[in-house]
Amino acid sequence: MRTMAQKSASARRSSATRPAQDRSALVGKTRIDSILDLQRTIGNQAVQRLIESHNGELPAGLGNPRISANPLGKRYADGDMRGEEGVDEADARAGSDVVQRVDNPPDHRLLCNASATGVSLGASGPIDEDRKYGLRTPIIVHGTELAEVLDSELVGASIDHTGSMEARPSANSNNSGFMAADNIPDDRHTSSKRDHLSYFDDHGGDGSYARLQMDLYKIPSCNITDPAPIPNSGYRIKREVKAEGDKVVGIVTKTAEEVTIGDHTSSAGLTAIKEAKVTLRE
């Protein structure tokens, strides 16, 4: 049988030793957490190496068979602009208030299901301003999880100059930056009325030229950071100035076709044709 004094001494010893025991348990737990974190890191690196060694796909029987490190396969790239201001000629994507998304660093433990598979054109219309004319085309990017996809247009230098426009030097138009693919502003394919009328008057009347266009994509959250062409996004943008009776008109036509710009290629876009005609002079 313990006396009161023995009980008090025992309680004091128990109270004095408890913090040391708690600290010991905490140190042990911290070491276990560190080991588990190391195991997870090594495991993630091993999975990533396994995916890379099988061309971006997990081998049969491992994980989700739809997992792909690059959902579009081989990639290419180039550029042009959406969002034109203060220039006479542009194949620009309008909307200066568009903000490029800032994505978090990629986590290779997550599955990547975002993709961009084509570009179609919405209800289009003419642009007829004091100094400029052209064609406005709404842009619709097709794919999955488009909030994760960044998009930019790419337009090549002018080609296929005919008639009076043979005197016009080949030139590039402006390129926009990347923006969220689920909120793309309209393309504005504009030209200076004065510029086109001067070639019509000074170099023999009717004339035309064209540019090729495709869309590029990036998916930073899937570690796809090099710009690559979106398939089914190729278009030809033709500008033509011609006489119609006593009038001079400007015609801008956007036609789907397979295009190559530099080393980069995209198949024909998903909308066959859009066109606008504007009277440049009565």
**Same domain assignment for residues 147 and 201:** yes
**CA–CA dist 274, 253 (Å, integer):** 6
**Same domain assignment for residues 40 and 94:** no
**Same domain assignment for residues 163 and 268:** yes
**Same domain assignment for residues 129 and 210:** yes
- For residues 93 and 185, the answer to whether their CB atoms sit within 8 Å is yes
Q: What is the pLDDT of residue 63?
A: 45
**Same domain assignment for residues 155 and 240:** yes
**Same domain assignment for residues 49 and 142:** no
For residue 71, pLDDT beyond 60: no
The pair of three-digit structure tokens given for residue 240, joined into one six-digit string? 């033509």
Question: Where residue 56 falls among pLDDT bands split at 50, 70, 90?
Answer: low
Least confident range from 52-56, 133-137, 177-181, 184-188: namely 52-56
**Same domain assignment for residues 29 and 162:** no
17-26, 61-70, 255-264: range with highest mean pLDDT: 255-264
Question: Where residue 8 falls among pLDDT bands split at 50, 70, 90?
Answer: very low
Which tops the pLDDT comparison, 200 or 33? 200
Say if 250 falls within a structural domain: yes
Label each residue of 21-59 as H, E or C: HHHHHHHHHHHHHHHHHHHHHHHHHHHHHHHHHCCCECC
Domain that holds residue 228: 90-281
- pLDDT digit string, tens, across residues 182-202: 999 999 999 999 999 999 999
Mean confidence (pLDDT) of the chain: 78
**Residues 6+ positions from 66 with CB-CB distance below 8 Å:** 111, 113
Averaged pLDDT for residues 201-226 = 96
Say if 154 falls within a structural domain: yes
**CA–CA dist 63, 47 (Å, integer):** 10
For residue 46, pLDDT beyond 90: no
Q: How far is CA 236 from CA 49, 50, 170, 274, in A?
A: 41, 41, 15, 11
Question: 12: part of which helix (H) or strand (E)?
Answer: helix 4-53
Say if 14 falls within a structural domain: yes
Say if 65 falls within a structural domain: no
Say if 82 falls within a structural domain: no
**CA–CA dist 91, 137 (Å, integer):** 11
- The count of domains in the chain is 2
